[in-house]
Amino acid sequence: MTQDPHTTSSIDQCKIITLERHHHANGNLTVVENDNPIPFKIRRTYYLYDIPGGESRGGHSHSNLHQLLVAISGSFDVLLDDGVQQQRYTLNRPYQGLLIAPGIWRVLENFSSGSVCLCLASEHYNEDDYVREYDEFLKRTSNKRAQ
């Protein structure tokens, strides 16, 4: 039986990574490829946009899914929580992404007008992979707080 990553994941496994970029007089180009520089094969890509002012997205964790979030336009904040500590990241550069490990609660908020969040995911959509209730997340991470 595989161990639930909620019991072992840490915010320390999440980080900002800089994507390959090419500067040109007529515009810039950023490159993302499987396994380079993200440490997983991309199986799903989607993006969030037209988020009304004051609204948030996310508010869940995943049991198996790795994600890379990129602000390809505008900016937004990502609050990460591993059950013990929290960390806030502001994403506002289209050549940087936030790598999120499984077992980490995430909330996206403070979207600027016209912002677009690109998500590259390691797995296809699977509702069973989600933990959508924060109380359930806290139950799954309780061993970390007991140490």
Residues across the chain: 147
Tens-place pLDDT, residues 7-64: 899 999 999 999 988 988 999 989 888 877 888 999 999 999 999 989 999 999 999 9
Amino acid found at 9: S
Verify whether residue 24 is a known catalytic residue. Answer: no
Q: Using CA atoms of 91, 97, 102, 107 in order, give the dihedral in degrees to the nearest 10.
A: 20
The model's pTM: 0.93
| Buried-exposed string 82-110: b where 16+ CB fall within 10 A, e elsewhere | bbeeeeebebebbbbbbbbbbbbbbbbbb
Pairing between β-strand 116-121 and β-strand 44-49 as defined by DSSP bridges: antiparallel
Catalytic residue, from 22, 23, 24, 60: name it.
60
Q: Domains of the chain (ranges plus CATH)?
A: 5-146 (2.60.120.10)
Tens-place pLDDT, residues 67-118: 999 999 999 999 999 999 999 999 999 999 999 999 999 999 999 999 999 9
